[in-house]
Structure 1
Amino acid sequence: MALLLLGILLLLLGLWGLLRTCTRTPSPTPRWPPGPRPLPLIGNLHLLRMSQQDRSLMELSERYGPVFTVHLGRQKTVVLAGYEAVREALVGTGPQLADRPPIAIFQLIQGGGGQPFPLALLGWAPSNITFTLLFGRRFEYQDPVFVSLLSLIDEVMVLLGTPSLQLFNIYPWLGALLRLHQPVLQKIEEVRSILRTLLEGRQPPKPRGGLVKSYMDALIQQGQGKEPQGLFAEANMVACALDMVMAGTETTSATLQWAALLMGKHPSVQGRVQAELDRVLGPGRLPRLEDQRSLPYTNAVLHEVQRFITLLPHVPRCTVADTQLGSYLLPKGTPVIPLLSSVLLDETQWETPRQFNPGHFLDAKGRFVKRAAFLPFSAGRRVCVGESLARSELFLLFAGLLHRYRLLPPPGLSPTALDTTPAPAFTMRPPAQALCVVPRSGGSYPGDQL
């Protein structure tokens, strides 16, 4: 019965595609980049390792060039590999590549005390910053609401990186039939429920024009006196909070965890960072944003962490109109994958792309050097809106952590034995591991919490 139903669905899908083809308004003939020949239904999925899709695409670029076409199921998708191709497309095409393709699951989501500590604890601080921006207050780390939110976010990010969710995004109709999306939607609804409770528990909004202390305050004040079912309805407020919670916690948290892990794995780099911090900050003073100019090596290390880990290998774009990309003409609505990992690991842009090397961001005199191919936040019209906040958080947290503590592998484990193989999730997060922290001499610090 199931096979018969699947056959009927495939037949209807084929008829629908034929009907669309026959009734579509004529447009210029597309000129697609080269790429591997697709197989029926699965396209080129047999050539892609789902857990390391970006690496598979980089391998294909060696054969088909920096701009090529792959078929993700029945969907033609253009891949950009290397600094020149990615920058030309993201910046050189202006607004024509500013859209996002419909990603099925996201559409549904939105209609230590002497003992080693788990790396995931480092995600608490940046997460609390996001919650403070949203609601005007921080959580105690033992707060059950805070613990529940972080646990749910973690589960969502793991689910979003599973092969079943990637299959759902390629074949939404099949994924819906198999209910592949249900686990992540259930977790998202639990997050929404907590956010609604936090929103409802806020103090009454201040009169329009009064002082606002949070993002939610600003939205509530802006919506005062307006149609309650309009732009500032509760559902939209919760959606805005959900966006910030999901986007503003995982990436910064994972990057900070990677930074700590890499310092444990590269003690000589860690020691040089700490020597610079001691020299510039002196004993007992916490870092400030303006210290970045005086800390070129620390700044270089943070940039190299972000380059080396390629946290978000790619975030799809979509053409908003028929778009000329070099010698190719891509029709409106074409998904395009700017392969950011191929830029951050581009052999023509980095001296030792596969090695962790802070020297990539230093000149011969040890001064910090900006690199055009440093694009972890993407580029062009869809550059990450939270880039400035993320950079500030990472610098203050990383510098403050290393100024006060030494990061060491657990007893019995050498630095070289620390595992840097990314764990499967929506981002390239570090594997679940533990580190030891040893207080450094240097006087007292104001406050003990990250």
Structure 2
Amino acid sequence: MSLQNKIVHLSCRRFVCNSGALHKSASSEARTVLAVGDETTQQSLVENIQMKSLKEMPGPSAVGNLVEFFFRDGFSRIHEIQMEHSQKYGKIFKSRFGPQLVVSIAGRDLVAEVLRSEGVAPQRGNMESWQEYRNLRGRSTGLISAEGEDWLKMRSVLRQLIMRPKDVAQFSDDVNSVVVDMIKRVETLRSQQPDGLTVLNINDLFFKYAMEGMAAILYEDRLGCLENEIPQKSQDYITALHLMFSSFKMTMYAGAIPKWLRPIIPRPWEEFCSSWDGLFSFSQIHVDKRLEEIKEQMSKGEEVKGGLLTHMLVTREMNLEEIYANMTEMLLAGVDTTSFTLSWATYLLARNPKVQQQIYEEIIRTLGHGTVPTADDVPNLPLVRGLVKETLRLFPVLPGNGRVTQDDLVIGGYFIPKGTQLALCHYSTSLDEENFPGAEGFHPERWIRKDATDRVDNFGSIPFGYGIRSCIGRRIAELEMHLALTQLIQRYQICPDAPTAYKPPVH
């Protein structure tokens, strides 16, 4: 889902953005998942359950997929294709991407069954291109790309530092210092426009905010991304990061194009490797810088204090290459999630002034006009939390999540062999009317529980994943989004770039 550069007007309580329309929804149906054990168990199940093979599973033809994705730019429209295929083929269907066979699951209940049946170390979708790059360059995997025992070890180290709300709350001051700089940048950008209200390209603004915020937490350092003159090293990293995000299609091509075709079609793999080179290089510079500072402190007999990176470098529960990899992958994932969601959230607020008014009143009622919010205030701002959840429901950062089956399974009546790649279609489930009545509408209040029976089924919208393999940086990303949105709504009225489109609410 592409969010183009925005024109934003900001006055006292004014902030304007623009984008495309929301997408259509699909229907859902319940399926069942049964774990299949040894051959005896399999035979018993075959006798008692009428199972079908993958050959009998519906789905687009290999040729049709080839044309759709490689000649009609389908990698830029994965969310739309997901909806079309789920409507046409049902809640379970197969697709082929080059040499890769993928079984797509587009039903909430079936997604829930798959995720609930996972073992202690679930395997993500096919990430062979990530692993191949790391082998080529002699790099370690990080928490996103690692599997098995390596993944379990890394997660056990990181989960105690950044997964619990109380652990992430300590980063409030760091994040708020970045929010202050973002607000200053907003004022600078407004002053550069004739009307004194417009901010051009809010995507870029939020991208730099997210990068600065993640770096402040991960590297314990500021990069200067929100300054008028960005340091060259930071600019180089921004360029590499933009290349990685803009070449998401290239990443897909890199994994789908057979290796023997690379000499003929070299660009996808070359750009994929080039962007990773830039990201790893930047992380290594900042990790090494902090390491030298720690060594100097220790040589002087000084007490070493710090945050996440300092803890990892002092305890050495991971080796240095693993630290480089995890810093790189967490920054990559965090920047994308935060910036993307903030852009869509401001779009939705601009298009729904009554909702914006309600959230503004909640913030003023809870904090007043001048109080700077902290992590401790967020639980008292349910509509702000609902705003983030509803934005991620309508515009998830990724339209799906991947898994590779670690056992033979029976899914929806089909026998799925061990080692099959699954695509869990969160985009279609999040726009399903059965899961979310009024699914195409923007209703942050739907996430506020009024009693024990009034709740939203989390498996309908799980943008951060589920269970032990859920996004480890979720709490950090949410903190950055909650604090930024609260202060923006406190200070500005967010409006479309055509101020005459509607009469703004009065505060």
Corresponding residue number in structure 1 for 2:322: 236
Is 1:403 matched with 2:490?
yes
How far apart, CA to CA, are the structure 1 residues paired with 2:376 and 2:60?
53
Q: How does 1:343-362 map to 2 (within 5 A)?
A: 343-362=429-448
1:273 deviates by: 1.2
Structure 2: runs of 5 or more not aligned: 1-38, 44-51, 136-188
* Residue identity opposite 1:269 in structure 2: V
Is 1:254 matched with 2:340?
yes
Is 1:204 matched with 2:294?
yes
Corresponding residue number in structure 2 for 1:219: 312
Given the superposition, is the C-alpha separation of residues 219 and 362 from structure 1 closer, same or farther in structure 2, using an over 3 Å criterion? closer
Given the superposition, is the C-alpha separation of residues 362 and 195 from structure 1 closer, same or farther in structure 2, using an over 3 Å criterion? closer
1:213 deviates by: 1.3
Checking the alignment, whether the CA contact within 8 Å between 2:110 and 2:412 is kept in structure 1 is no
TM-score, normalised on structure 2?
Answer: 0.67
How far apart, CA to CA, are the structure 2 residues paired with 1:379 and 1:238?
26
Given the superposition, is the C-alpha separation of residues 368 and 267 from structure 1 closer, same or farther in structure 2, using an over 3 Å criterion? farther
1:249 deviates by: 1.1
**Is the deviation greater in 95-104 or in 113-122?**
95-104
CA deviations on 1:273-294 (whole Å, 9 max, x unpaired) are 1122111111210123333343
* Residue identity opposite 1:399 in structure 2: T
Corresponding residue number in structure 2 for 1:44: 65
CA deviations on 1:2-30 (whole Å, 9 max, x unpaired) are xxxxxxxxxxxxxxxxxxxxxxxx99799
Corresponding residue number in structure 2 for 1:98: 122
Structure 1's consecutive aligned runs of 4 or more residues displaced over 6 angstroms after TM superposition are: 26-30
* Residue identity opposite 2:280 in structure 1: R
Corresponding residue number in structure 2 for 1:184: 272
* Residue identity opposite 2:353 in structure 1: P
- Give the total of aligned pairs: 381
Q: How does 1:119-130 map to 2 (within 5 A)?
A: 119=202, 120-130=204-214
1:115 deviates by: 4.6
How far apart, CA to CA, are the structure 1 residues paired with 2:312 and 2:417?
38
1:184 deviates by: 2.7
% identical aligned pairs = 22
> Does the residue aligned with 1:181 lie in a helix, a strand or coil?
helix
How far apart, CA to CA, are the structure 2 residues paired with 1:109 and 1:246?
16
Q: Which has the higher contact order (CA 8 A, sep 6+)?
A: 2
47, 53, 56: which is aligned to 1:31? Answer: 53
How far apart, CA to CA, are the structure 2 residues paired with 1:292 and 1:106?
36
Corresponding residue number in structure 2 for 1:116: 198
Structure 1: runs of 5 or more not aligned: 1-25, 225-230, 417-437, 442-450
Corresponding residue number in structure 1 for 2:216: 132
Corresponding residue number in structure 1 for 2:104: 79
Corresponding residue number in structure 2 for 1:386: 473
TM-score, normalised on structure 1?
Answer: 0.75
How far apart, CA to CA, are the structure 2 residues paired with 1:70 and 1:116?
45
> Does the residue aligned with 1:283 lie in a helix, a strand or coil?
coil
Question: Please, what is the CA RMSD of the aligned residues?
Answer: 3.3
CA deviations on 1:146-191 (whole Å, 9 max, x unpaired) are 333223212210112x2x4423212231553321210232122122
Corresponding residue number in structure 2 for 1:157: 245
Checking the alignment, whether the CA contact within 8 Å between 1:89 and 1:97 is kept in structure 2 is no
Corresponding residue number in structure 2 for 1:170: 256
Given the superposition, is the C-alpha separation of residues 81 and 200 from structure 1 closer, same or farther in structure 2, using an over 3 Å criterion? same
Checking the alignment, whether the CA contact within 8 Å between 1:321 and 1:331 is kept in structure 2 is yes
How far apart, CA to CA, are the structure 2 residues paired with 1:146 and 1:299?
31
* Residue identity opposite 2:59 in structure 1: P
* Residue identity opposite 1:196 in structure 2: Q
How far apart, CA to CA, are the structure 2 residues paired with 1:344 and 1:391?
19
> Does the residue aligned with 1:137 lie in a helix, a strand or coil?
coil
Checking the alignment, whether the CA contact within 8 Å between 1:361 and 1:370 is kept in structure 2 is yes
Corresponding residue number in structure 2 for 1:420: none
> Does the residue aligned with 1:44 lie in a helix, a strand or coil?
helix
